[in-house]
Amino acid sequence: MPAIADAIILKNGAKTFQQDEDSPTYVLKGVDLTIEKGQFYILLGPSGCGKSTLLNIIAGFLELSEGNLEIVTSNTNRDGRGFVFQSADSALFPWLTVEENIAFGLKMKKVPTEERKKIAEHYIKLTGLTGHAKKFPDNLSGGMKQRVQLARVLANEPEILLMDEPFGALDAMTRRSMQNELIRIWRETNKTIIFVTHDIQEAIILGQKIGIMSVGPSSKITTTYDVKLSYPRDLTTAEFNDCYRRVQAHFEDYGI
Amino acid sequence: MTTIKVEAANTKTTVIEKKKKVNRFLKSGVLGWVVILVVWQIASLFSEEMFLPSPYATFKGMIEIASDGTLFVYMGYSFARVLAGWSLGLLIAVPVGLLIGTNTWIRTILEPVINFVRFIPPLAFITLFMLWFGIGEQSKVFLIVYATFFVITINTLTGVLSISKDKLLSARSMGATKFQTLLHVVIPAAVPYIFTGAKLAMGSSFMAIIGAEMVAANEGIGFMIWNARLYFKTDWIFVGLVVLGLMGFLMDRLFTYGGRKFLARYKVVS
């Protein structure tokens, strides 16, 4: 029995890709992960370490080759998990307006039009998209598109948010404001968040707990690091820098 | 000083206005037609009317066939056949393209077959289609269906295969069933490709119908062109060519307009 406070428990998880018949290649091997309900968890690692693969497994998009994954949500269907993709352009539906994109999941669940509109409106407001409801995604900036993606996922009221480097393609300033927005939204909605990034600064700005992954193949979470700073985090303080140095040191330990 | 400035500004606007007018004229495409007519006229001066009739002779020929309504009846026949065959082709090819695109098994089985058969031109089937479907309208319509089928199927298939995986995954994670994903994600994403396929298929339709009408019909533009040779009416052949181009042009324009008007959100016309 999992503890009530746990949302995601992965034990000894592994993912292989069959290259030839005899020797499967391990992308992930021996991954242990426990994430508490309402926690902001960061998966941090260099490019190609399999952190996106791990996130896709938790999302249910990929199957585990070995090990055991438990997702604890009050609704057992896939709706318990919402996924924010790295590229809004490839994830959003360009033929739907912002409002229609956000209401997509509700429409699929046959929620009545009136209610759909109300919920969409709520999340448009929450994500700061007021005034953009009738626009098409192609007419929005990169940051705005990611807001739409976030609102679209939130509208389905998932308990767990899975985010795959969602701010990676944004410019530094937009990125900072999106990070602040995400923290605000997280605190207002009490979601469990797993956020994938390769940026140490971003990890420390956002996360309560940072899972540091080793380089692949056969990568796993080598260390978890608790960030004890209070929100909103000021990246100019000595404490922040201290954190940064320590996380950086973990990477140096593993020769990355 | 002030006056000079105003004058300068005025001259500038008139120049811009003039430039705009020239641009508009160039963009209207009229110039191309004028050039063709002039070249055609000059070429015909060095030739006999039976060999290469002049634009004017062609126009006279057009009046000749149009005056008793024959031209319009023939146009109606050809157009109706194209429209029937093309619509039916669209109706069959789109679902087939969606099926092949979404189902890996079916794709594996059918793709080689399609890539074999699609190189057999419709005209090669005329005799067989007449044998199978009779010499009436059926064989002609089916020939056009055949001519449109592969273009639209392959375009639809390409559209389905080019949908980003993220769109399909996000639909799934938002609770869409397989059928809902097909209806609300796959089809909308493929619409621009289907539209292009349908446009290209129009050309193939005209190609097929003229061939079929030349071989086996007692009416239609193809029949008219083929028949003209019996009377050495070269001008009628030219009338046929002009009318064919015109019909295709109008059909394409109408279709594009419709797409722009009703399918704007799918970005069918760039």
Separate counts of helices (H) and strands (E) for chain B:
12, 0
Query: Does B50 reside within a domain?
Result: no
Sign of CA dihedral B85, B88, B91, B93: negative
Q: What is the pLDDT of residue B150?
A: 94
Q: Is B270 on the interface with A (CB under 8 A)?
A: no
Is omega for the bond preceding B121 within 30 degrees of 0, making it cis?
A: no
**Inter-chain touch B167–A93, beta carbons under 8 Å:** yes
Sign of CA dihedral B96, B99, B103, B106: negative
Q: Is B185 on the interface with A (CB under 8 A)?
A: yes
Q: Directed axis angle between helix B126-133 and helix B187-215, to 10°?
A: 90
Q: What is the pLDDT of residue A3?
A: 45
Whether B96 and B26 map to the same domain: the answer is no
Query: Does B227 reside within a domain?
Result: yes
Q: How far is CA B261 from CA A101, A136, A178, B90, in A?
A: 22, 16, 37, 20
Q: What is the DSSP string of A81-129?
A: EEEE-S-HHHHS-TTS-HHHHHTHHHHHTT--HHHHHHHHHHHHHHTT-
Q: Strands across the sheet with A25-36, in order?
A: A25-36, A6-17, A66-71
Contacts of A231 (CB under 8 A, 6+ apart): A183, A187
Q: Which two tokens stand for residue B100?
A: 């092949």
The mean per-residue pLDDT over the stretch A146-170 comes to 92
Whether B157 and B199 map to the same domain: the answer is yes
Of B184, B115, B198, the closest CA to residue B156 belongs to B198
Q: How far apart are CA A25 and CA A36, in angstroms?
A: 31
Q: Which two tokens stand for residue A184?
A: 């605000």
Min CA distance, A251 vs chain B (Å)?
31
Task: Indicate the average pLDDT of chain A.
Answer: 87
**Inter-chain touch B175–A108, beta carbons under 8 Å:** yes
Contacts of A142 (CB under 8 A, 6+ apart): A88, A169, A170, A171, A174
Query: First and final CA of chain B: distance in angstroms?
Result: 48
Q: What is the pLDDT of residue A254?
A: 65
Sites in chain B below the pLDDT cut of 70: 1-13, 270
Whether B106 and B217 map to the same domain: the answer is yes
Min CA distance, B177 vs chain A (Å)?
8
Contacts of A6 (CB under 8 A, 6+ apart): A34, A35, A36, A37, A70, A72
Whether B8 and B108 map to the same domain: the answer is no
Query: Does B103 reside within a domain?
Result: yes
Give me Rg for the CA atoms of chain A: 19
Give me Rg for the CA atoms of chain B: 25
pLDDT at A124 over 80: yes
Q: Is B173 on the interface with A (CB under 8 A)?
A: yes
Q: What is the pLDDT of residue B6?
A: 60
Q: How far apart are CA A35 and CA A158, in angstroms?
A: 16
The mean per-residue pLDDT over the stretch A61-67 comes to 88
Whether B217 and B251 map to the same domain: the answer is yes
**Inter-chain touch B167–A95, beta carbons under 8 Å:** no
Whether B65 and B173 map to the same domain: the answer is yes
Contacts of A117 (CB under 8 A, 6+ apart): A99, A103
Residues of A with CB under 8 A from a CB of B: 59-61, 77-79, 81-83, 85, 87, 90-91, 93-96, 104-105, 107-109, 136, 152-153, 156
Is the ipTM above a cut-off of 0.85?
yes
Of B166, B175, B191, the CB nearest to A78: B175
Q: How far apart are CA A185 and CA A126, in angstroms?
A: 7
Q: Count of alpha carbons within 13 Å of B67, Cβ hemisphere only?
A: 6
Of A197-206, A214-223, B135-144, B193-202, which range is least confident? A214-223
Choose the mutation target among B164, B167, B174, B184 for the interface with A, i.e. most A CBs under 10 Å: B174
Polymer length in residues for chain A: 256
Whether B19 and B77 map to the same domain: the answer is no
Q: Hey, what amino acid is at B239? A: V
Q: What is the pLDDT of residue B25?
A: 78
Choose the mutation target among B165, B167, B170, B193 for the interface with A, i.e. most A CBs under 10 Å: B170
Whether B227 and B126 map to the same domain: the answer is yes
**Inter-chain touch B189–A95, beta carbons under 8 Å:** yes
Min CA distance, B166 vs chain A (Å)?
5
How many separate domains does chain B show? 2
Q: How far apart are CA A104 and CA A175, in angstroms?
A: 26
Query: Does B20 reside within a domain?
Result: yes
Min CA distance, A80 vs chain B (Å)?
9
**Minimum Cα–Cα distance from B191: chain A residue:** A95
Min CA distance, A245 vs chain B (Å)?
35
Q: What is the DSSP string of A5-61?
A: TEEEEEEEEEEEE-SSSS-PEEEEEEEEEEEETT-EEEEE--TTSSHHHHHHHHHTS
Where in the sequence is the domain holding B108, given as residue range(s)? 55-266
Whether B202 and B74 map to the same domain: the answer is yes
Give the tens place of pLDDT for each residue, B42-100.
Answer: 999 998 888 899 999 999 999 999 999 999 999 999 999 999 999 999 999 999 999 99
Q: What is the pLDDT of residue A50?
A: 86
Whether B78 and B139 map to the same domain: the answer is yes
Give the tens place of pLDDT for each residue, B36-58.
Answer: 999 999 999 998 888 899 999 99
Whether B157 and B204 map to the same domain: the answer is yes
Query: Does B195 reside within a domain?
Result: yes
**Inter-chain touch B174–A104, beta carbons under 8 Å:** yes
CATH code of B230's domain: 1.10.3720.10
Q: What is the pLDDT of residue A2?
A: 46
**Inter-chain touch B164–A91, beta carbons under 8 Å:** yes
Kindly report the pTM of this predicted structure: 0.85
* Structural domains for chain A: 6-74+159-253 (3.40.50.300), 96-157 (no CATH)
Q: How far apart are CA B75 and CA B244, in angstroms?
A: 8
With tokens 């994109």, the residue in question is A101
Whether B82 and B117 map to the same domain: the answer is yes
Contacts of B223 (CB under 8 A, 6+ apart): B74, B213, B214, B217
| Exposure letters A174-195 (e unless 16+ CB within 10 A, then b) | bbbebbebbbebbeebebbbbb
Give the tens place of pLDDT for each residue, A23-59.
Answer: 778 888 888 889 988 899 999 988 878 889 999 999 9
- Using an 8 Å CB-CB cutoff, list chain A residues near B169: 59, 61, 83, 85
Query: Does B122 reside within a domain?
Result: yes
